[in-house]
Structure 1
Amino acid sequence: MFQTEISTIENDTLNRSFEVMLSQLKSKMKSVYHERSDINELGKKRGMPPFVMREIMSVNPFTAIIPKEYGGLGGDVKESIALMSAASYESLALSLTFGINMALFLQPVIKAAQPEAKAAVLKRFVEQQNMGGLMITEPDFGSDALNMRTSYNETDRFAHLTGSKHWAGLTGWADYWLLTARKDTGDGRLARDVDFFICDVTQQDQTIVVEEFFENLGLYQIPYGRNKLDVQIPAIQKLVPEKSGVKLMLDLLHRSRMSFPGMAMGFIQRMLDEAIEHCQKRFVGGKSLLNYDQVQQRISQIQSYFTTVSAYCVNSCKKAGLAKDLSMIGIEANAVKSLSTDMMQAASQTLLQLVGAKGYKLNHIAGRSIVDSRPFQIFEGSNDMLYSQISEGVIKLMKKARQTNLLAFLKSFELTTNASDLVKDLFDFELSYNEPQRKLVDLGKILSRVISLEHLIELANKDFSAKLIDGATVHLRQEIQELLSSFNAKNETRVIEDYQVDTNWLLFT
């Protein structure tokens, strides 16, 4: 009883402190994006004026998830999701900056860094508002991360890392980097496991050379580039995983994917607010756009995204805490990341369609949001790949259970037990264990939506708006039906590589 009372007091203190921080962050964003400058102008220029990050970082947002013993508030995934959501309402680039720092750097450092290195890193984050990022992707190895060629040799005191990394967000900005590499075992061979090292670029022999800054399409405020690694990392800066480096990487990436709804939440809410406001004020044929049935359908679709992502956020706060091992939750993490980012892109496309020509400007939020949200469907795993992995994971479980009926499996699967009742008229069929990849992608999209229905049911049990839950359920069922039509259609078309033969249309006139 006494311990429970202490825990309640600590949670109340955290909540109050975090509410103050969140309020201060929103005030700072209003100042830098709407009073001291114009976000629509900033968004079309590369980089970020120093005063913007200086003012935002003065709130010390990353301390929200830093343990109390290191000077932080002691928060976890809930606080990081809330920060990303607040930021993405104003700037998707800022929200991604938050996500990189918290999900891809701080959380793995808090979880797996050696005590001396952890204390030094967190001290600088608290006192100097430092930033950190993660380097996994290599020029020749994108999603195929386990075959990375960045390698290291080590002594008792140092690890010497050499290699090349690219597309790391905050290239040239971050004070710290988590670097991934495989141990050189001799004779040109590399260990199968992956190791993580904290690189402090402010220290001698840990400088990372940026060979090229990329002209990235969208997210102009975040620098990306190609980096050359030739660094000496002190032994104490090597992360120590509980099991293996691969398990640590999966835990890290799955927790990050479970945090994507934070970036999606504020962004989709902004798309929704912009769409409603525009259609209320825009009159065509003597009535506002909001009175047209097709417009109602489009905006209700964005509303369904808002509701579904809200369910994701609640679910992630429950399941993705730092103390938990997420290395084995690939199906759910992939579903949440893929569908939330697809919804981001779809919401921005809908807003641009509603706004019309004026939205097709770089300094208008509608057009800019399309290019800013598009890469979310690619990084941390291309959505096509993740959808395919979802299907592969489910089929593996079905094989293990010796089950071929998809409905019967969904009824017994923990991620779809309750949702199966909502789609029982659609899924009573036998599933082949050997579906082609294109069908696996379709099936992954379908399964992601069934998992989303499960999340909506759980959210409904918490007394979330019943009207919004009902609307989201209708839209998800409709999408499932459309995707099932694609899944069931026979399509084995192949690329005709010499397609130029007999295809010059002018010869047929």
Structure 2
Amino acid sequence: MFKAAEVKEKVESAFDGLLNELKEKMKSVYHQRSKVDDLAIKRGMPPFVMREIMSVNPFSAIIPKEYGGLGGDVKESIALMSAASYESLALSLTFGINMALFLQPVIKAGQKESKAEVMKRFVEKSNMGGLMITEPDFGSDALSMRTHYKDNGSHYNLKGTKHWAGLTGWADYWLLTGRKDTGDGQLARDIDFFVCDVTQPNQHIVVEEYFENLGLYQIPYGRNKIDVEIPKVQKLEPEQSGVKMMLDLLHRSRMSFPGMAMGFIQRMLDEAIKHCQQRFVGGKSLLKYDQVQQRLAELQSRFTICSAMCVNSSGKAGLQNDLSGIGIEANSVKSIATDMMQAASQTLLQLVGAKGYRLNHIAGRSTVDSRPFQIFEGSNDMLYSQISEGVLKLMRKAKLENLFEFIKDFHLTKKASELVKDLINFKIDLNMPQRKMVELGQVVGRIVCVDQVLELSTKGFDNNLTNSAIEYLRQEITGILSSFKYANSVQVIEDYKSDSNWLNFA
């Protein structure tokens, strides 16, 4: 036990050194050698920026010690993403893509020979990797992907089209997904993963088009043509099925989203407080206005909630755990963390006013950059609906109709149940329409957050902050439930143009 504690202390000490060095490099490239506000409005990332940042070898933090890394895990990757997102959301997402979407699944399921080569190049040559799942005709419906492969003896021939993969054209490695061609135009139901090394013959991926993405300008996205020959040693080996591995991968990534949200929300909070201290309207600082106080208090609550998420994920999202079955929790964390990111940026933009409505101002840029987080890796509407599906399935199994009766015994919400009992002690329709499923998911997700904030408070986190965060979540739940309980079945009128020109009635 003493040796294990000693090893842990050494790893943490080495990581602290790496993290401090990363912060110094970011200070240099974003504030001394250039200005982040100017860099962020240009497509791509200047070579010197990535060269300086990668010289710290940040990804070594989570690479196992036997491959030359520090051997850290989720806590370290979350801390790295948080530090990066305080300065640049695009840089933090670059970190997240490399660590959560490429390195972690390769570490967990890669074959020994292939994995050793990947880790060596990440440690010694600062290589980068990404993940390709999404196809032009199959976004959220990933299980219907048409990218397919055939077994050609010594290798697999993989063909298809992928798009919206972050780091398009940049990454040295790609984790590619496809389904086995079983003949007669049929594809297997399961999904397989392959490590593609674009520096090797017959593994080059053709970028057919670079997208003019809205926001996150420093990260390239595009459409990729896949026609590669992958050595068999580069196929990942799932413990169960490929679909389960994909769920494990995506849920672990979603549990890591608070890392990207943490530094970002803290930066929004710091910028908002500084602006309100310095800005005077009507002879007094903005801080003296009650509406401003409410906005800042809400922003501070998001900081606290995200802190609780980071602590929770650090304890649960390790590679030793199978996360394929934690959909309710992972979807709650991802959707609410990203909703809070967008809300935080909107708060700063509102407080700053007109000058924030510039792309090279942190308020305007952050509003645009944080918006896609609510869409990629599962649209939040879809994730909220899936939360409800999971909850209703468990309620049917337990023969429950009252929401509180479920919440009080559910492991993710048990501690929070008494604090929200007055809000959720009612029966729900187990066959509700989808629009209500989304709202119910928003409620359940926030109760999960209350539970995590309560857990954070027991660890010594500032009680004033946690109490405010819980009150903020209760207020949000109350507002959502008001809409949830309102009977609304209005439908779109597709042929709306007849008798609807206002000019005819003026």
Taking structure 1 as the reference length, the TM-score comes to: 0.99
Give the aligned partner of residue 443 of structure 1: 440
Q: Deviations over 1:24-72 (max 9, x none)?
A: 0000000000000000000000001000000000000000000000000
Distance of 1:73 and 1:47 partners within structure 2:
30
Distance of 2:299 and 2:423 partners within structure 1:
24
Give the aligned partner of residue 319 of structure 2: 322
1:151 and 2:155 correspond = no
Q: Deviations over 1:163-212 (max 9, x none)?
A: 00000000000000000000000000000000000000000000000000
1:351 and 2:379 correspond = no
Aligned to 1:23, the other structure's residue is in SS state helix
Distance of 1:88 and 1:481 partners within structure 2:
31
Distance of 2:319 and 2:362 partners within structure 1:
34
1:454 and 2:451 correspond = yes
The 5 Å alignment of 1:87-126 reads 87-126=84-123
Aligned pair partner of 2:192 in 177, 192, 195: 195
Aligned pair partner of 1:373 in 352, 370, 373: 370
Distance of 1:427 and 1:361 partners within structure 2:
42
1:209 and 2:213 correspond = no
Q: Deviations over 1:455-494 (max 9, x none)?
A: 0110000010001001101110000000000000011000
Distance of 2:17 and 2:457 partners within structure 1:
29
Give the aligned partner of residue 18 of structure 1: 15
CA positional deviation for 1:155: 2.9
1:360 and 2:354 correspond = no
Aligned pair partner of 1:175 in 155, 169, 172: 172
Aligned to 1:412, the other structure's residue is in SS state coil
The 5 Å alignment of 1:34-433 reads 34-433=31-430
Aligned to 2:157, the other structure's residue is in SS state strand
CA positional deviation for 1:426: 1.0
Aligned to 2:229, the other structure's residue is in SS state strand
AA in 2 matched with 1:424: K
Give the aligned partner of residue 495 of structure 1: 492
AA in 2 matched with 1:312: M
Distance of 2:62 and 2:360 partners within structure 1:
34
Provide the aligned C-alpha RMSD in A.
Answer: 0.4
Distance of 2:375 and 2:112 partners within structure 1:
35
CA positional deviation for 1:157: 1.2
Aligned to 1:252, the other structure's residue is in SS state helix
Distance of 1:66 and 1:453 partners within structure 2:
33
CA positional deviation for 1:432: 1.3
AA in 1 matched with 2:172: D
AA in 2 matched with 1:379: F
1:478 and 2:488 correspond = no
Aligned to 1:458, the other structure's residue is in SS state helix
Taking structure 2 as the reference length, the TM-score comes to: 1.00
For structure 1, the 5+ residue unaligned runs are none
Distance of 2:352 and 2:414 partners within structure 1:
40
Moved over 2 A (4+): none
Which range moves more in the overlay, 150-159 or 86-95? 150-159
Distance of 2:152 and 2:251 partners within structure 1:
32
Aligned to 2:193, the other structure's residue is in SS state strand
For structure 2, the 5+ residue unaligned runs are none
AA in 2 matched with 1:130: N
Aligned to 1:230, the other structure's residue is in SS state strand
Distance of 1:275 and 1:43 partners within structure 2:
20
CA positional deviation for 1:363: 0.6
CA positional deviation for 1:127: 0.3
Aligned to 2:307, the other structure's residue is in SS state helix
Q: Number of paired residues?
A: 506
AA in 1 matched with 2:143: L
AA in 2 matched with 1:314: V
CA positional deviation for 1:126: 0.3
Aligned to 1:426, the other structure's residue is in SS state helix
Q: Deviations over 1:381-409 (max 9, x none)?
A: 00000000000000000011111111010
CA positional deviation for 1:156: 3.2
Aligned to 2:248, the other structure's residue is in SS state helix
CA positional deviation for 1:427: 1.0
Distance of 1:210 and 1:156 partners within structure 2:
27
AA in 1 matched with 2:4: S
Distance of 1:216 and 1:344 partners within structure 2:
19
Aligned to 1:423, the other structure's residue is in SS state helix
Which range moves more in the overlay, 121-130 or 153-162? 153-162
